[in-house]
């Protein structure tokens, strides 16, 4: 293994002290007499001299370029020299030849910042370490993540709320980074952390919070709902500068989003719903409490244990993060929300309804009654339709079912199974298209009162038996549902019938009824209606 020069010098000096001659030292270590002399003169090798910089063909023109760059310091911003303009002037005014554009561009890129710094126009960019008080400061940001949601690749928004002192971060994935997601992310973070930071929370100039940036200052015109939200929780917002300079002002959350994405969302997750992913994210956040950030002496969880008691308590009343809309149902039994359309029961056509829009879903109300709930659409101009909402209309117009959009969406979601299609086709062959489709619609109405798997099993049983009427499917469905209930009851501890007895289904159902505390009926009041015959011997 080759020695370093310091080890070589130390060995030469050791052999010299042992009495070896210069030639013996040269022969032993395979070096020349000059190396031996340098080693005996100093234990430290001499620093190799740098060769002088090689002359460039651009050297005669550098003073002219520097003059142009100094003049640009006082020129209007939109009328300063570009590299191409400098190159053209060198060719036209200085008769420059044999110098490429790339050489000029490299020199200008290196020289321009130096001239600005010499003129005091560009101070050195220094990162000054900061001290964060526990429970006082936090940072918030969104980041894009790619997921495979039910087999389709979509881009969602990852919300991160990070406490500056402990590094404790709470994450949440939403379909979009709109105001509903922004507010819901805060509420979720406050609930997990158990409090609200008492000092400033750093933000980008998000549209969910900022309506207008006033000039180059830090003053902002805030969104009204965001102002009400801050007032409810007592948040103090600090808005960072636009662009990359603002990113450095909240570098903690910027780095946290990248770290979380690389360590938990690689490879791309394949999920059936965002609720499933967010449940995993909550567990990952709890596991991160055992992690150390950089060279810190303690874990995130240990620092957060110090910080949590210093957070301000949550308000007693909750804040409604969803947005209300007052809409009217069109003749397609749909309401339009943010360029997308969602179905409601057909009986509400032309009636006003209220819609509560959340980050990942929306709820439709008729007065105080919830009538529909949909997962929010990600793209624009889409429609999400529920087959159950159109059944009453399809009874009158059965011919509209086969090619309808709502049927295709039901097939895609798995609610309309191949078993439905097989039974429908058999019913059409036996009874005709109109009668068979009406029978199918009556079967679909069973889903309102029975579990989906029970109805599908009832359809399969009726199809095997050749029973192609809705009443037969209803009967088979009830049999399967009652059988499942009996199996579930058999799994429970026995509390009624003794060993060896058989309990009827009616008796089993009666045992689940509440006790009857009413008095025993009496017919005394009806005695006055009877004819009273006098006893024998009485007048």
Residue with tokens 């010499």: 118
By the 10 Å C-beta count (0-12 exposed, 13-18 middle, 19+ buried), 299 is classed as middle
The structure tokens listed for 177 are: 């980074």
C-alpha R_g of the chain:
40
Q: Rounded to an integer, what distance in angstroms lies between the CA atom of residue 511 and that of residue 495?
A: 10
DSSP 1-25: -PPPHHHHHHHHHHHHHTT--HHHH
Per-residue pLDDT of the chain (539 residues; tens, 9 = 90+): 457 889 999 999 999 999 999 999 999 999 999 999 999 998 888 888 888 878 899 999 999 999 999 999 999 988 999 999 999 999 999 999 999 999 999 999 999 989 988 887 766 666 677 778 898 999 999 999 999 988 889 999 999 999 999 999 999 999 888 889 999 999 999 999 999 999 899 888 777 777 676 555 566 777 788 888 889 998 888 888 776 666 677 888 989 999 999 999 989 999 988 999 999 999 999 999 999 988 888 999 999 999 999 999 999 888 888 889 999 999 999 999 988 999 999 999 999 999 999 988 999 999 999 999 999 888 888 999 999 999 999 988 888 999 899 999 999 888 999 999 999 999 999 989 899 999 999 999 999 889 999 999 999 999 888 888 889 899 989 988 888 777 766 666 554 444 444 445 566 666 666 777 777 888 887 877 777 666 556 55
* Helix/strand/coil for 155: strand
Structure tokens at 418: 């191949």
What is the residue-wise DSSP string for 456-519?
HHHHHHHHHHT--SHHHHHHHHHHHHHHHHHHHHHHSPP-SSPTT----HHHHHHTTSPP--SP
In this structure, the strands spanning 361-366 and 334-337 are: unpaired
Burial of 189 (0-12, 13-18, 19+ CB in 10 A): buried
Q: Which residues pair with 342 in a beta bridge?
A: 335, 384
> Strands 334-337 and 340-343: what pairing?
antiparallel
CA separation for the pair 200, 403 (Å, rounded): 57
Taking a C-beta distance cutoff of 8 angstroms, is the pair 158, 280 a contact? no
Residue 265 contacts residue 144 (beta carbons within 8 Å): no
């Amino acid at each position: 293994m080759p020695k370093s020069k310091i080890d070589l010098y130390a060995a030469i000096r050791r052999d010299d002290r042992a009495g070896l001659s210069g030639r013996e030292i040269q022969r032993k270590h395979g070096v020349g007499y000059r190396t031996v002399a340098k080693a005996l003169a100093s234990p430290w090798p001499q620093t190799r001299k740098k060769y002088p910089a090689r002359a460039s063909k651009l050297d005669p023109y550098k003073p002219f370029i520097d003059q142009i760059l100094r003049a640009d310091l006082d020129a209007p911003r939109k009328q300063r020299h570009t590299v191409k303009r400098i190159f053209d002037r060198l060719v036209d005014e200085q008769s420059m030849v044999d110098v490429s554009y790339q050489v000029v561009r490299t020199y200008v890129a290196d020289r321009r910042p130096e001239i600005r710094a010499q003129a005091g126009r560009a101070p050195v960019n220094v990162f000054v370490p900061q001290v964060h008080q526990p429970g006082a400061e936090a940072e918030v940001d969104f980041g894009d993540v790619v997921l495979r949601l039910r087999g389709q690749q979509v881009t969602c928004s990852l919300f991160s709320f990070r406490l500056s002192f402990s590094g404790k971060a709470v994450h949440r994935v939403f379909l979009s980074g709109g105001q509903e997601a922004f507010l819901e992310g805060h509420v979720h973070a406050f609930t997990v952390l158990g409090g609200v930071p008492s000092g400033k929370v750093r933000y980008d100039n998000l549209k969910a919070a900022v309506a207008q940036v006033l000039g180059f200052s830090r003053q902002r015109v805030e969104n009204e709902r965001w102002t009400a939200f801050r007032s409810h929780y007592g948040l103090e917002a600090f808005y960072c500068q636009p662009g990359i300079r603002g990113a450095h002002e909240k570098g903690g959350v910027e780095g946290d989003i990248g770290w979380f994405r690389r360590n938990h969302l690689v490879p791309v997750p394949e999920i059936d719903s965002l609720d499933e992913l967010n449940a995993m994210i909550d567990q990952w956040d709890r596991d991160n409490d055992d992690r150390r950030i950089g060279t810190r002496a303690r874990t995130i969880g240990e620092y957060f244990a110090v910080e949590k008691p210093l957070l301000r308590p949550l308000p007693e009343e909750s804040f409604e993060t969803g947005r209300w809309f007052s809409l009217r149902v069109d003749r397609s039994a749909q309401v339009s929300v943010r360029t997308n359309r969602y179905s409601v029961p057909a009986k509400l056509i032309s009636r006003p309804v209220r819609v509560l829009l959340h980050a990942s879903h929306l709820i439709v109300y008729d007065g105080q009654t919830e009538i529909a709930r949909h997962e929010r659409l990600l793209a624009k101009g889409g429609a999400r339709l529920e087959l159950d909402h159109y059944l009453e209309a399809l009874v009158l117009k059965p011919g509209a079912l086969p090619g309808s959009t709502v049927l295709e969406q039901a097939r895609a979601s798995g609610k309309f199974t191949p078993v439905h299609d097989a039974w429908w086709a058999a019913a059409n062959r036996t009874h005709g298209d109109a009668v068979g489709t009406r029978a199918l619609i009556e079967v679909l109405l069973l889903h309102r009162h029975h579990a989906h798997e029970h109805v599908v099993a009832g359809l399969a049983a009726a199809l095997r038996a050749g029973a192609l009427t809705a009443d037969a499917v209803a009967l088979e469905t009830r049999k399967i549902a009652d059988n499942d209930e009996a199996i579930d009851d058999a799994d429970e501890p026995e509390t009624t019938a003794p060993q060896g007895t058989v309990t009827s289904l009616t008796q089993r159902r009666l045992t689940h009824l509440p006790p009857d505390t009413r008095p025993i009926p009496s017919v005394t009041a009806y005695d006055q209606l009877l004819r009273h015959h006098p006893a024998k011997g009485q007048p």
